[in-house]
């Protein structure tokens, strides 16, 4: 029997045609469920669906490589000074350098490189092909494949021949952080780069040196965070947001997808656009531009989307 859920009128047609055996639904929409479907009443149907899914598919809550059985693979390379607690799994071709410390229950994926002096807490997953250096990692941190943590940030004096600024800081990732595949986090130069507890970061995100990210933030795919900026707690960034260096984003602020942020954002505000400004201002500006374009089209007798270049065929 299949289980589904319904909580948005936009999907009424899908509900009418569902072949699921049971549907989680609020009391408000209970009458819309087809008679052949068992009704499971829930105040928040999607939340209830997720709770069921977490119970039924507990293994899906952590990355599963399936490359090797638990334990140390024969082809793993582990320096003699590294210290691994009991029940650490090191998959084939992983390399663990000198003075590394890894807590119990942690899995080091195939081909990962853990450079000298890195500290990794308990119950972490370090994805296949990831590379960690100059880093301190808390407990229950999940890194999907191909993450690169602790490499030099982009620091130069730009004058004629560009002079490299020494990058001497670390990356500190606190407990319960999740990093999507291909994410890169640069080590600090003047201060450590810090990722706060409970923050969730999507695939292919770039975080520059000296960045401080607060607790329980959400950063969607392909965001680019320039150096030395600060995100407060519970900040949410939509996909492909770019943020300038030294900017401060206040607690609870939200930034719409594909926005460019050059100015600091006060706590709790919602901004968007290029360059980002408060969403109400952004929407008013877009509406005004659309009305201007439409009025101009009416005066000339052309539609706004027509090509008015007479030189084109």
In the chain, count H helices and then E strands: 3, 35
Burial class (CB in 10 A: 0-12, 13-18, 19+), 197: middle
State the DSSP code for 31: G
209 is catalytic: yes
| Nearest residue to 170 via CA among 117, 134, 219 | 134
Catalytic option among 131, 134, 144, 209: 209
- Torsions phi, psi for 193 (to 5 deg): -85, 130
Query: Helix, strand, coil: what percent of the chain each, to 5?
Result: 15, 25, 55
DSSP letter string over 210-269?
T-EE-TT-EE-TT-EE-TT-EE-TT-EE-TT-EE-TT-EE-TT-EE-TT-EE-S-B-TT-
Question: Where in the sequence numbering do the catalytic residues fall?
Answer: 209
């Amino acid at each position: 029997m299949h289980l589904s859920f319904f909580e948005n009128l936009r999907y009424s047609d899908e509900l009418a045609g569902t072949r699921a055996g049971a549907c989680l639904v609020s009391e408000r929409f209970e009458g819309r469920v087809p008679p052949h479907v068992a009704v499971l009443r829930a105040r928040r149907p999607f939340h209830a669906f997720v709770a069921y899914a977490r119970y039924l598919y507990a293994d899906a809550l952590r990355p599963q490589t399936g490359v090797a059985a638990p334990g140390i693979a024969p082809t793993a390379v582990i320096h003699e000074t590294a210290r691994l607690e009991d029940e650490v799994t090191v998959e084939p071709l992983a390399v663990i350098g000198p003075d590394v410390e890894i807590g119990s229950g942690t899995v080091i994926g195939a081909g990962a490189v853990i450079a000298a002096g890195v500290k990794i807490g308990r119950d972490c997953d370090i994805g296949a092909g990831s590379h960690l250096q100059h880093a301190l990692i808390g407990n229950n941190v999940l890194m999907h494949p191909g993450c690169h943590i602790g490499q030099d940030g982009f620091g130069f004096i730009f004058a004629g021949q560009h002079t490299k600024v020494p990058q001497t800081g670390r990356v500190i990732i606190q407990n319960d952080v999740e990093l999507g595949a291909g994410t890169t986090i640069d080590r600090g130069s003047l201060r450590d780069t810090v990722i706060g507890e409970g923050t969730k970061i999507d695939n292919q995100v770039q975080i520059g040196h000296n960045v401080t990210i607060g607790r329980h933030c959400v950063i969607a795919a392909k965001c680019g965070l320039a150096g030395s900026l600060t995100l407060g707690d519970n900040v949410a960034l939509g996909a492909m947001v770019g943020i300038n260096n030294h900017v401060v984003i206040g607690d609870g602020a939200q930034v719409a997808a594909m926005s460019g942020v050059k100015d600091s954002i006060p706590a709790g505000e919602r901004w968007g656009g290029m360059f980002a400004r408060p969403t109400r201002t952004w929407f008013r500006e877009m509406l005004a531009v659309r009305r201007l374009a439409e009025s101009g089209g009416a005066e000339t007798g052309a539609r706004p989307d027509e090509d008015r270049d007479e030189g084109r065929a």
